[in-house]
């Protein structure tokens, strides 16, 4: 049975991508379903309403302001609103990979108490549908 971790998360353009794997506390690709109302025609036929799905990468990450301009925190602040490629593998042994493009939003800066790890919740919209490449358990 697959479990969360060890896995990988990379964000950014190939060759300059940021490996955020060791920052991830929790991470899930979620979806939202939007279904329009069905339409009943005069003859009694019911035409189903259109259905659309939107996807979001949601979770919690430690932030890395100590990584300087090459870190994920800097990317989230300096390139907020940009679209960046991503690859997410929740369990490298399973090998199932999700990839696509994300709309980057700023990560929060701070913590709730003295001595706490700086972390931020995120909910970054996935552009279109993620592409899945399915692995197989050994």
Q: Are 21 and 91 in contact (CB under 8 A)?
A: no
Which two tokens mark 13? 């353009």
Q: Give dist(CA 25, CA 79) in Å, integer.
A: 23
50-93: per-residue pLDDT in tens? Answer: 999 999 999 999 999 999 999 999 999 999 999 999 999 999 99
Q: Reply yes or no: is the peptide bond before residue 6 cis, omega within 30 of 0.
A: yes
Domain segments of the chain: what residues?
8-34+49-133
CB-CB neighbours of 9 under 10 Å: 23
CB-CB neighbours of 123 under 10 Å: 10
Mean pLDDT of 15-21: 93
Is pLDDT of 17 > 90?
Answer: yes
pTM exceeding the 0.85 threshold for the entire prediction: yes
Who's near 32: CB < 8 A, 6+ residues apart?
A: 53, 54, 55, 56
Question: What is the structure's pLDDT at 103?
Answer: 97
Which residue in 12, 21, 14 sits closest to 76, CA to CA?
Answer: 12
- What does the angle CA 77 – CA 73 – CA 57 come to, to the nearest 5 degrees? 95
pLDDT level of residue 135 (50, 70, 90 thresholds): confident
Which residue in 67, 100, 107, 65 sits closest to 83, CA to CA?
Answer: 100
């Amino acid at each position: 049975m697959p479990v969360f971790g060890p896995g990988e998360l990379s964000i950014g353009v190939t060759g300059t991508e940021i490996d955020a794997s060791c920052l991830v506390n929790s991470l899930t690709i979620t979806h939202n379903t939007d279904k329009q109302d069905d339409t009943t025609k005069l003859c009694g036929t019911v035409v189903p309403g259109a259905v659309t799905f939107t996807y979001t990468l949601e979770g919690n990450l430690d932030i890395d302001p100590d990584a300087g301009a090459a870190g994920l925190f800097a990317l989230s602040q300096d390139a907020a609103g940009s679209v960046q490629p991503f690859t997410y593998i929740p369990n490298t042994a399973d090998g199932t990979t999700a990839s696509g493009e994300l709309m980057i939003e700023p990560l929060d800066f701070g913590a709730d108490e003295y001595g706490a790890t700086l972390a931020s919740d995120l909910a970054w919209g996935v552009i279109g549908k993620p592409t899945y490449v399915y692995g197989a358990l050994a």
